[in-house]
A and B are shown apart, each in its own frame.
Chain A
Amino acid sequence: MSLWTLIALMAVVTYASRALYLFVPADRIPRWLADHLDLVPVAVLSAMIAPGVVGEGAATRVPAITGSATTLVLLGATRSPGWSVGGGVLVHVIATAALGL
């Protein structure tokens, strides 16, 4: 199997999964599904965040949890996404270095 063939087929499969929704007419989405589409980002984001915060090894969990908590506290206090992310990352980096990870 050629590597370029693999790449081309990967591209097709990936695009197909991205474009699948194009075949769903907007006015034909069932009401029961349309009513709950706002929960999709919540479900996807939560599933992506959880392993990054508590899913890795026990040692890396401490910096991840302190970084996440800092992010949330700063978000509540400043309402600024940039400062919140920056503060969270800073605390995470300091905690990682302090623990010698």
Chain B
Amino acid sequence: MTEARATSAVEDRAIPGAVPANPRGVLVQAVRDTAPFLAGMTPFALAFGAVAVARGLPGTAVVGMSAAVYAGLAQLTVVNLYGSGTDQLVLLLAFVALINLRFSLMGLSLLPHTRSQPVWVRAGLAFGLSDEPYAVVIHRFSTRGYDLAYQCCVFLIVYLAWVAGTALGVALAGVMRDPLAWGIDFAAVAAFIVLLAPRLRSSAAVVTATASAGLALLARRLGLGEGSLLAASLAGLALGAGWRVWKAGRASNRRDEVQL
């Protein structure tokens, strides 16, 4: 458990650490950190807007959905199902809940950093929690400490980009060729890689990453769809934690043997 305690200790030190910076500096840093993700997300937002209109949804409803729901994968899934005639509310909402359950996992891991904030602030911040902003802020908080202004800036930038990208996609639906055809959306994958690589410093992290990646691919092959993301994350997390506990237990046994 030494490894785990060491990590927790690093995070504990990071909690009260308000990063001193002027508001403009924080905004510039937030823009710089989110830029790689925006490059990958914007074509996806454009494509979502165009696809939703092509599926017969009114433009105002498509933009309204992006503004109110703000969850790309869930939105695309519902638009595809709704556009193909599925109108069973419970089924559609079950898909939304399943796809978005990963946000609970993300929120839980942010808790050690955000617990100094009042509940109403955290309730407001919860709305901005999504894949890209989570990846950006958890990296920042783990390495440089918590900063509320930075979190707000990152969440707001990504949110506005998503809604504006959707609106642009709706406006250009008739004239736009497939914005994903050139693979610009790969920027999001590359940005996730950049944020993941520095975290692979312990054997437990490597086990977690390998297991999650492998299980995500397997689950997709088995046809679990977007639910595979949550299932693979949970299973990978359990395996990584199990590995860490086993390793700590083995090290403890060795110490006992040496003392004897």
Chain A contact residues, CB within 8 Å of chain B: 1, 3-11, 13-22, 24, 26, 29, 32-55, 60, 63-64, 67-68, 71-72, 75, 81-82, 84-86, 88-89, 92-93, 96-97, 101
Contact = CB atoms under 8 A, between A and B. Distances in A.
Contacts, number: 268
Contacts of A34: 8, 112
B250 to A, nearest CB: 17
Interface stretch (B16-24, B118-126, B162-170): B118-126
B179 interface: no
Interface of B: 1, 4-5, 7-8, 11, 32-33, 35-36, 39, 57-58, 61, 64-65, 68-71, 74-75, 78, 82, 87, 89, 92-93, 96-97, 100-112, 115, 119, 122-123, 126-127, 129, 131, 134-135, 138-139, 142, 182-184, 186-197, 199-200, 204-205, 208-210, 212-217, 220, 228-229, 232-234, 236-237, 240-241, 244
Interface of B is mostly: helix
A44 B39 contact: no
B115 A14 contact: no
Contacts of A35: 1, 4-5, 8, 241, 244
